Amino acid sequence: MQILLFSDVAGKKELRGWHRVGHHINYAEYKQRTYNPLLERDINYFELDFQLEFPHTSDTCYIAHCYPYTFSDLKDDLDYLSSIRSQEIFRRDILCESQAGNSCFIVTVTDESVPISQKKFVFITARIHPGETNSSYMMRGVLEFITSDDRVAQKLRSQLVFKIIPMLNPDGVIIGNYRCSLTGKDMNRNFRHPRKQTFPTIYHMKQLMQDLQKEEHEILAFCDLHGHSRKSNVFAYGCDGCDGPQPNMKNFLNARILPYIMSRTAPEMFAFDYCKFHIHRCKESTGRVVMWKEMLIRNSFTLEASFAGSSIVEKPCHFNIQDYEKFGQCICQSLRQYLDILCDSTRLDSIFLDITKSVLRKLGKEKIPPALLPAVYPEEKQTDEPQISITSVASCLQVLSQCHDTINEQDASSSSDSDSDPEGGELPDIPYRKEDQSLKKKLKKKRSEKIIEERVQRIAHKREANEESNGISGTNGTNGTNSTNGINDTNRRIRVSYPYTSEIDMNSQLKLTLAVDQMDKATRTLPPRGTLFTSKYANRSGHGLPIFTTERALERRQVKLF
């Protein structure tokens, strides 16, 4: 993936905005060769290398990971829509205020002339992770299309009420966080029991949804827009509830209808094969899972758009702003098709057949029963063995039940996604066994003790070799200086590297440190202790919140008083 560049000179002369640049791009784990007091030893760091040529001299250039979209951009977009759209279809309100006093906007789009009792609700949210700016451009596409005069948009407004929260984490966006809120917490891990003071936007959104359900309004779908840094294309993470021993395969198919329609609406962008519907243990407090479990919303999705681009087209390419906005329109068009299909049993059965074949095709020829090969792969040669045909919904359910274990295993083995932890994979869905853990600890302890002994011996041999080489060359100068290079050997530093060690190996690391110290304390030089930087916030407490945020909140309150 190339980086983005904005040039002031090119913007003024050529009217050129953000564009892709760079070559020889490499992102890899950082191998620390020299001591750096700013980096901790027990953390894995990564480094990004790239080369680029600046297009103009005496220019100011900006580099970005993705197309920027700020809180001010959102306010400008909402102001523009408010000025050109009728109040009968578009209304902007403030859901609540964030911790820092910033407004969390909520937009309601519907046809006021149609009674609300005849409509269903759809919730669409974005920017719960501030750094995923591409989700805001998808949201812009949704807002522009659903408020337009298009016939599909008019039909949707007469059937649905759209509750749109374009920026769930305004504080994180304003202060420049990538994933967290003002308090340093991942908001997409706190949907189950959100605190009103800590996560006000999530709390009030859930309260609104609960109030609607108490009034017996049906919530048709919940869609949380995200960005993905590892995979390409656009795809969805959903919930089908088929993780248990006796899954309901009808729910299996129903959960996949809307993503499958999106793959047909935007075949050059949306990859249905990338979609996952397994619920990992570490995802039970995310938005999509909580809305599915607590609110009983059948269509609850995390919609992921790649920072990079599409790999399912003939020639892979990067996504640009227009692509993200176009897919926002596709979300609305897919909802319109979904409503039509629910009212047409023939089309619904056809969708079920297509989804079944697509799921089986994803498994591969090696993992599906041989009797199913002709039905899934028509190009396969016919054999004399009995064959299973997929011609009805009943046959789909039967076939999926037979292959459920294989499908579930493949669906569970997914890479890290946007609503998971930023680094690392999934938590294993297996019971904890104390015996296995204790055995692993014993084996790890034996290995670490052996490694310590080998390192101590290696350091001792190196020290002896240095002493022998110094003795052979002689000391022809004063103060024991070597005649070959003129450097005092007593001031030489022998670096001792410490690999990453967990808490279990803390005693082993301590043994290694003591062993090296006892051999020769002069061989190790510790970095000087003390403060490297002076901060105006030193020795001050914000009582759990960053001090600058409390100061800013006080300033805003004083302005409101006057």
* 209 backbone φψ class: left, alpha, beta (φ>0; ψ -120 to 50): alpha
Long-range CB pairs of 372-377 (<8 Å, 24+ gap) are 372/399
**Active-site position among 112, 144, 216, 304:** 304
CA distance 63 to 5: 5
CA distance 243 to 233: 26
Q: Which positions ≥6 away from 237 have C-beta within 8 Å?
A: 275, 276, 277, 288, 301, 302, 304, 417, 419
Tokens 């047409």 — which residue? 344
Backbone dihedral angles phi then psi of residue 413, each to the nearest 5 degrees: -85, 75
304 tagged catalytic: yes
Distance of CA 516 to the CA centre of its chain: 43
Q: Show the 3-state SS of 286-348.
A: CHHHHHHHCCCCCEEEEEEEECCEECCCCCCEECCHHHHHHHHHHHHHHHHHHHHHHCCHHHH
Best CA proximity match to 136, nearest among 126, 146, 145: 126
Best CA proximity match to 157, nearest among 117, 126, 113: 113
CA distance 511 to 25: 41
DSSP state, residue 245: S
Q: Show the 3-state SS of 354-388.
A: HHHHHHHHHHCCCCCCHHHHHHHCCCCCCCCCCCC
3-state SS, residue 87: coil
Tokens 């916030």 — which residue? 537
Which residues are 103's β-sheet partners? 97
CA-to-CA dists, residue 481 to 33, 48, 76, 466, angstroms: 27, 42, 71, 14
CA distance 456 to 466: 15
Residue type, 65: H
| Lateral strand order in the sheet of 19-21 | 19-21, 3-7, 61-64
The secondary structure of the chain in percent helix, strand, coil, rounded to multiples of 5, reads: 45, 15, 40
Q: Active-site residues: which are they?
A: 304
